[in-house]
Amino acid sequence: MLLLVAAAVWLLIADRSSPPTGTTPPAGSAEPVGDELQPPSAAEFAAIETMLSEHGAALLAHDRAGWQQGLDVGSTSYLQQQRQLFDNVARLPLVSWRYVARSAVTDSAALTAATKRLGARTVILHVNLDFALRLVDPAPTSKDLWLTVVERGTSWKLAGDSDAGAAERSWRGPWDFGPLLVEQGRNALVIGHQSESSQLGSIAALVDRSIPIVTSVWGGHWNQQVLVLVPDSAEEFNAEVGADEGADIAAVAAADVVTTGGDVLGARIVLNPATLMSLDAPARQLVVQHELTHIATRASTAAATPRWLVEGFADYVGHLDSSQSPAAAAPQLAAEVRAGHVPADLPADSDFETPDRLNQTYDEAWLACRFIARRIGQAALVRFYVTVSDAARQNQATAVTVGLHRVLRLSEPAFLAAWQASLPGTLSGSPTARPTSSASASSNAPSRPADHSDRRG
């Protein structure tokens, strides 16, 4: 979760006089004391807000001189970083970029250190960066920054974004990791770096092919223009996902928030290009369709929707248009079933955190959804997903029971018995590829795609 910092702002050095704009006094010459740590006045806060507004407008207008006007020339490292950021976003189809001041940091140690470094009146602010990209963002999404602002003469200048302390780290976007390349597909906006330049076109084409497949199942009531980020380092991958992930993960679907009107803000698929491109073509298709399904279903998915349904439905869509049998797609589960070890129950949420049987857990979830689609149709599977998610918002424990009763007209024990009875036949085929119908298609990825669209904003 993004952290908000509570009220009150401040900081001051012993001598309130300031040098002329654009010059920097010697740092570290004065030690601020408690009585001098005051919040900014209403007039000071308003002046900072005006500077932030002009700074954001300059970037959106590609006004380099206006952008640099808001930067402290004495903060050499930060100045260079922000000049590079201006260049890095130049190719992006931005339609919104603004800074919204929220509150001031009151950590006296952080404030004292920043004031000594800058040698002038200093404020550290919690700021929201609100931005949107054309088509893929129905409205701006918001990210947390902690910006240091210093008074130079009669002006306020930006002087850093890392003074607030370890607990309040500024969010980092793809533009913070180097120059960006943009590949605009029919439906996909792919953003990456020079190191992946040869792959961006094929990634855009893969996403473009996959979106109609997702829509054919879920329907058109989702934003079918999708942002795809292609980081070139583990650090960037984790920054864009919002969590530390392993190098073997091929892709993650994520979103920041769902509005009351059902818009999904900050939706994105973050790809690990090295892992994704090491997979064969069917496996890449599965990964992309799986993650796109999470984006499509995000507004309808409750925090309490059972994980087996969330992941199983995504895998059901991911397997469509593949040419592998279920036995080929799920060889480990097929071997267990042939040995007489039929799953005793549907996967629990905790099973998705157990690495020993993770492949089998995903396959059990997929085959449960596939069973529903084959029994009552694909459209009914969608109704089941929505019904269970709606019921889970009221009572997670009874949500599946409600869905089964309303959509399949079955009790949970009856459904479980029917699904278990179907598995030996479903998984009895040869574990080699053969043509199948879309409803039973699959991909034999060496390891399951991990997604975190269930980390809800």
| Residue 321 confidence (pLDDT) | 87
> Helix %, strand %, coil % for the chain, to 5?
45, 15, 40
pLDDT tens column, 56-73: 999 999 999 999 999 999
Nearest Cα to 174, choosing from 245, 255, 252, 228? Answer: 228
Residue 228: helix, strand or coil by DSSP?
A: strand
The H helix count followed by the E strand count for the chain is 15, 11
In this structure, what DSSP letter does residue 71 have? B
| Residue 431 confidence (pLDDT) | 55
**Whole-number Å distance between alpha carbons of 29 and 37:** 16
Where do the H-state alpha helices sit in 136-257? 197-218, 234-241
What tokens does 338 get? Answer: 């042939």
Residue 219 identity (one-letter amino acid): G
Match 């932030």 to its residue by tokens: 52
The reply to whether domains 34-171 and 173-300 share a CATH topology is no
Is residue 439 pLDDT above 60, yes or no?
Answer: no
Give this prediction's pTM. Answer: 0.86
For the chain, which residues make up each domain, given as ranges?
34-171, 173-300, 301-449
**What is the distance between the terminal CA atoms of the chain, rounded to a whole angstrom?**
7
CB 145, CB 97: distance < 8 Å:
no
pLDDT tens column, 338-360: 999 999 999 999 999 988 999 99
**Whole-number Å distance between alpha carbons of 113 and 163:** 8
| Residue 348 confidence (pLDDT) | 97
The dihedrals phi and psi of 363, each to the nearest 5 degrees, come to -65, -40
Q: What mean pLDDT value characterizes the chain? A: 87
pLDDT tens column, 43-52: 999 999 999 9
Is the domain covering 34-171 a CATH 3.40.50.150 domain? no
Identify the band that residue 31 occupies on the pLDDT scale cut at 50, 70 and 90.
low
What tokens does 48 get? Answer: 């900072």
Match 């040419």 to its residue by tokens: 323
What tokens does 4 get? Answer: 């908000």
pLDDT tens column, 156-172: 999 999 999 877 999 99
CATH of domain 173-300: 3.30.2010.30
Residue 415: helix, strand or coil by DSSP?
A: helix
**Whole-number Å distance between alpha carbons of 94 and 86:** 12
CB 315, CB 441: distance < 8 Å:
no
Mean pLDDT within 411-427: 98
The dihedrals phi and psi of 306, each to the nearest 5 degrees, come to -55, 135
What tokens does 304 get? Answer: 């309490």
pLDDT tens column, 290-339: 999 999 999 999 999 999 999 999 999 999 988 889 999 999 999 999 99
**Whole-number Å distance between alpha carbons of 125 and 107:** 11
**Whole-number Å distance between alpha carbons of 251 and 272:** 6
| Residue 53 confidence (pLDDT) | 98
**CA distance to 240, 246, 249, 447, per residue, from 275 (Å):** 17, 10, 7, 10
| Residue 30 confidence (pLDDT) | 54
Ranges 21-35, 176-190, 295-309: which has the least confidence: 21-35
**Whole-number Å distance between alpha carbons of 59 and 374:** 53
Is residue 456 pLDDT above 70, yes or no?
Answer: no
| Residue 2 confidence (pLDDT) | 34
**Whole-number Å distance between alpha carbons of 231 and 175:** 10
Match 């500024």 to its residue by tokens: 170
Nearest Cα to 269, choosing from 310, 301, 228, 226? Answer: 228
Q: CB-based contacts of 450: which residues, under 8 Å, 6+ apart?
A: 245, 246, 249, 250, 251, 252
Is residue 198 pLDDT above 50, yes or no?
Answer: yes
